[in-house]
Each structure stands twice: as structure tokens, then as C-alpha cells.
Amino acid sequence: MERPILTREWGFLVAGYVVHTSHSAETDPSRARLPELWARVEGGVLERALPRRMAGGKPFVVYHSYDADQDRCAMLVGYQVRGLEDVPDGIAALNVPPGRYLMFTAQGPQPQSARRAWGEIQAYFRQPRAPRRAYSFDFEVYEHPLRASIFVAIR
């Protein structure tokens, strides 16, 4: 994995489907809940529900509402939208606030390379001189089928 890039991101709104899960559950195919959400997104249902998508219509995964031990969190899979008026009933909306992030890149077939990148990201933050994670809002942007940018909030 390439060295992460320090970035400041402006706030944005993402609309989509939410699950409450854990990173450990998502690494176990029998307990993972995220693939079900991806299947709904890839099926085009969410695209039709959000015709005014932003960010070139790229899918996002936003991790938020971390619990005290930082393993459990909520995940929203969806698309960036301009405002709440673009979010129909039955679709969740989440404001991702501005903040400082380290951006990592996951190259290769998705979602396998993003999963592998998260393992490397966790190892990166265990290093003695690594910045401290904020455990507020982390997100992935799927640029295309062979590349995802992963933004991890830092203090």
C-alpha cells in the first residue's frame, strides 16, 4: 500500500442503506452484512431512488457511530447527494462533517482490495508514531472497479 496522504475534507451528505455491524463480523462471510447492502446498490435500486447523485455517481461507504471499543459501528452504503430534498422516504441520510483525514488507496478488484487495505490500515495505526484515529467518520469512495480511496479521520 502506498504511503497515506494527509487531507482536509469538507462536509458532505451521503444517502443510502445502513447496517450496524462490526469489523470482525464483516471479515466472516457467514456474519457479514455489508455484502447484502452492496448487492442492493449494484442492483441499481439506489441509483434509481437517487437520480441527483454527486461525486460522479461514485458509491461511498461511511463508517460512523463507533462504540467504545471501536469494533462495532454503523455503515452506510450510498451516494453523495446535494441536500435532504434529494433523499426519498425509506433512504437514510448522513452528514459527514469536515475534518482531517489520512487517505489510503486500495488498488485491485473490489471489494477484496479494500478489505485487504483495511488490514494494512489497522497495522499502520498500530505504529508508534502514527497519528491517532478519531473514530468519528471514516469513508471509502469507489473510484472504479479497481480503485477505492479510503479516508480515515484523525485527531
pLDDT in tens, 74-121: 999 999 999 999 999 999 999 999 999 999 999 998 888 988 999 899
pTM of the model: 0.93
B/e letters for 114-148, b = 16+ CB within 10 Å, e = fewer, are beebbeebeebeeeeeebebebebbbbbbbeeeeb
Distance CA 155, CA 148 (A): 23
Task: Report the amino acid identity of residue 70.
Answer: Q
CB contact at 8 A, 52 and 82: yes
Of 112-116, 133-137, 138-142, the poorest mean pLDDT is in: 112-116
C-alpha cell, 87 = 433523499
CB contact at 8 A, 62 and 138: yes
Contacts of 18 (CB under 8 A, 6+ apart): 74, 75, 76, 92, 94
- Domain 5-153 is found in CATH 3.30.56.10: no
In this prediction, residue 110 carries a pLDDT of 84
CB contact at 8 A, 64 and 136: yes
pLDDT in tens, 50-85: 999 998 899 999 999 998 776 789 999 999 999 999
- Domain regions of the chain by residue span: 5-153
